[in-house]
A and B are shown apart, each in its own frame.
Chain A
Amino acid sequence: MWNLTRRATLRLAAAAAAMLPFGARPRAEGHLWFGTRLDAQGGAHATAFDAEGRPVIDLPLPARGHGIAVSPDRKIAVVMGRRPGRFALALNLADGSVAAQFAPSEGCDFCGHAVFSADGRLLYATETDWEGERGLVGVYDAAAGFARVAAWESGGLDPHDVRLLPGDGRIVVANGGILTHPDAPGAKLNLEDMDSSLAVLSLADGSIERHFRLEPGLFQLSIRHLVVGRDGTVGFVMQYEGPAERLVPLGGLLRPDGTLQLLEMPRDGLADLRQYCGSAAADAAGETFGMTSPRGGSAAFFRFSDGGYLGSRGLSDVCAIAADPALAGGFYIAGGHGGIERVSPSVRAEVLQGDLARTALWDNHMALA
């Protein structure tokens, strides 16, 4: 597979400086939106743009990227390889240079998501240990070139998204519960007895403090993506592996007191999500969140406080979503058929212009930096 070498690191760093195909300009002050994209040949890139959609960083990736973890000081973004992930790439946001590259441990693959500790010193990444058929959270030391310093059991198979809970004492992990195998790309091997869960882990020792499952009748819902609201409420977003004809909720809330609530929405809006949500993001204030369905080309928005449905916006093959601090309750969404839009549940505020915004095809996730 793709081996981590110093030479490759240098080559990528050089490429970062050289490859700005959309006529980039230096980073403007303020925020960046960091995502991954595919080109017309299917090649993958890590790409960051500014508030106007102008490219700031654009770097070829060895394979499709997935989640992006941004350090609390907004200096580093770590692009995780898509599951089964063989690489992670830490970039300096100031200049797009490569700070570090690292690979999963022998026998493990990355599952696509990671999150920094509140002090930025550690990175927690979801992983699969194939031999042991178990999910892990790998703990990486940022100061040591992202060396793995610990690995904890995630509490289930197929751990996917991971988020920090307020207070830096705990993380929440979405165990998707779907069994896969490295020799069988694309195959889901346990749809008849899959077991998805939400696990809250202590960062002191990795112990599972709390573990949540949906009711047995919903066992074919795979909990995969997470957002955290201002009060520590976790929004979880799911895909359904059951019969195509069945309409089931695709989002839920986990309150700090341990209460679970499934999200209700109008039937047509739910049907538009086509049993699958692929990404989610909280707004800048942590009061609302959006969850996206590329299958339906639809993003649906909810309140953290009571789970209330706020509305939906359409964009073809939309998955990537991140907060827009300049728009109350607002988000940037980006589509797999191209297009970056600033939206809120009530308005489509802006369709971004420029080459990148018009032509780039956006992959699953995007992070605000």
Chain B
Amino acid sequence: MRQWFKILTVAGLVTGAPAAALAQEEGEQPSLSAQDQAALATMNAAVVDGHVIPAFKAQAEAGAALATAADAFCKAPDAAGLDKLRLAFGAASDGWQKVQHLRFGPTELFMRSSRLMFWPDPRDSVGRQLADLLAKKDPALFAPAGLEQQSVSVQGLPALERLLYGDDATKLLAGDGEAKLRCAAVAGIAANVATVAAQALADWTGGSIDYEKLVKTAGPGNDIYRSASEATVELFKSLYLAVEVVADRKLSKPLGENAGAARPRLLEQWRSGRALRNVMLDLEAAKGLWDAGMGSAVRQRDGALAAEVDKALAEVLNAAGQVSPPLETALGDPARRPAVEALVAKATALKTLIAQKVAPALGIPLGFNALDGD
């Protein structure tokens, strides 16, 4: 944390002319009135209180429960214990999914997002790194001090998923040295997930970083957010990302060009069969953020637009509900595939609506250039 603050305070890497020396020619940019900024500040606080903090609390609780379940399993590994542990893994995975769109501040400090969920992984870094680490046959490498020295790809949920659901998952129950080693890996990674999730929550809710306060005190004198609208930008990007992952990242490549070309192993968490649930959680997170305050802020400025977004959110959630699980086989099933394609189309339409219309309604400059630039 000290390192992070150092970055904050020595941000003046660019020496150059002091701001006063050269007049900024920004006068004609439609700037927001004090009243607009106040409305955004109110919205920011409502979204942080009603959406962000509860999601990080839930993630931290699920992470702690996962660590507890892993320890319990490793004391007496059996099939029933493994089932329980898998449930705890699912809950922790859900916890991540509910914050994965909030990729600013605490989520991005210390590479937390990559350490919790290294995905996508087209070069199979998780598989290779985990295999290398297991081959060293040293349980200490998975203890906290050992694990944090390793690649981020083996520190989080994807590595845990391999251990719990991969082809070798039964080795956890063999009662031999390999089982002990794998248990140490499971327990160590679960403990790391718990720690990282707890740290993210701690940085949101107090301590030396206190990101909640940083967002709520946006304005002159705040190094990170010079105005409420700058903090709104983060929340807006989060709304966009929650939809964009569904529109562009999580489904399009697994779908392929046609049913015969589907590639279900490009789905997120295909081993544990969570891909469809994850997409649903992402869209619910978008709706959660919108309903927690952004929607009403837009409604005050443009009621018709807010209604349009409400409708699009309902439609995309409905489209996700129309996909018959499991998604892993729906992609290549001519009967079930159209529902997946319809979901992508609805998500794309909502993404476009958010980029083109919602940002201007909030008075922030982000459009498709800013959100999907190159």
Contact = CB atoms under 8 A, between A and B. Distances in A.
Interface in B239-259: 244-245, 248-249, 252-253, 257
Given A246-B13, A247-B13, A315 B29 contact: yes
A183 B14 contact: no
B205 interface: no
Interface string B118-160: 0011110000000000000000000000000000000000000
Nearest to B351: A42
B64 to A, nearest CB: 27
B80 interface: no
A265 interface: yes
- B7, B244, B257 pick with most chain A CB within 10 angstroms: B7
A243 interface: yes
Interface stretch (A22-30, A197-205, A294-302, A324-332): A294-302
Interface stretch (A93-101, A141-149, A270-278, A280-288): A270-278
B29 A294 contact: no
A112 B123 CA distance: 24
A319 B365 CA distance: 11
B25 interface: yes
Given A316-B365, A318-B369, A364-B369, A243 B22 contact: no
Contact of A267 (B14, B23, B28, B352): B14
A317 B367 contact: yes
Contacts of A247: 11-14
A86 interface: no
A101 B213 CA distance: 54
A363 B18 contact: no
What band does the interface of chain A fall in when counting residues whose beta carbon is under 8 Å from B? 35 or more
Nearest to B22: A266
Interface in B11-53: 11-19, 21-26, 28-30
A337 B356 contact: yes
Contacts of B18: 266-267
B167 interface: no
A271 B244 CA distance: 26
B352 A264 contact: no
Contacts of B374: 66, 82-83, 112, 160, 224, 278, 364
B120 A183 contact: yes
A348 B252 CA distance: 42
B260 interface: no
Nearest to B368: A336
A245 B122 contact: no
A182 B257 CA distance: 14
Given A181-B123, A294-B373, A297-B29, A317 B24 contact: no
A79 B7 CA distance: 41
Interface string A290-314: 0001111110000000000101111
14 contacts: A42-B351, A181-B120, A184-B249, A186-B248, A224-B374, A244-B224, A262-B14, A265-B16, A271-B226, A294-B365, A313-B26, A314-B26, A315-B29, A362-B369
